[in-house]
Amino acid sequence: MKEIGYNRIKAALYARRWAFGRNPAYYDFERLGGDCTNFVSQCLFAGCGVMNFAPVFGWYYRSASDRTASWTGVEFLYNFLVANEGAGPYAKEAPLGEMRAGDVIQLGRNGGDFYHSLLVVGFSGSMPLTATHSFDAYARPLASYSFEQMRALHILGARAD
């Protein structure tokens, strides 16, 4: 594996381009539980250009029926990003103060059920501004969401074979 880096600007520009639309290269999961993590995965891919084609535990999208759970599932994306030692992006949980454009925030309930993924696209002071699908938004302040728990994932980089 070689380190290829992560282009935060490309990730954020992708979010701006598609926050209120749907890239026809990807299925819209809005009616199948939500499209937020699919959208965030697309943004992450725009920032690194590499998928991880490992069966089951990888992170890739070929079609709606040929993808990993980590591409579209909140918990599965978290598990992939924090444990990934192979191709694709990798991350660590971090405090909000370490967030940068291109990082990921996930919202949850007190019981530990995380249900929504957001991409950080900028800041208003120290407040992260986010983009997401399933209630499409761009530059929406994190403070405007109602949630009981939050976790922030700082993308450390990406690798390729």
Going by pLDDT thresholds of 50, 70 and 90, the confidence category of residue 33 is confident
**Contact in structure between 50 and 88 (CB atoms under 8 Å):** yes
Q: 49-64: per-residue pLDDT in tens? A: 999 999 989 999 999 9
- Determine the Cα–Cα distance for residues 13 and 121; give it in Å rounded to an integer: 8
- Tell me the CATH number at 41: 3.90.1720
Range of the domain at 39: 2-160
Residue 32 has pLDDT above 90, yes or no: no
Residue 34 has pLDDT above 90, yes or no: no
Q: What pTM was computed for the model?
A: 0.97
Strand partners, 119: 104, 131
pLDDT of residue 133: 97
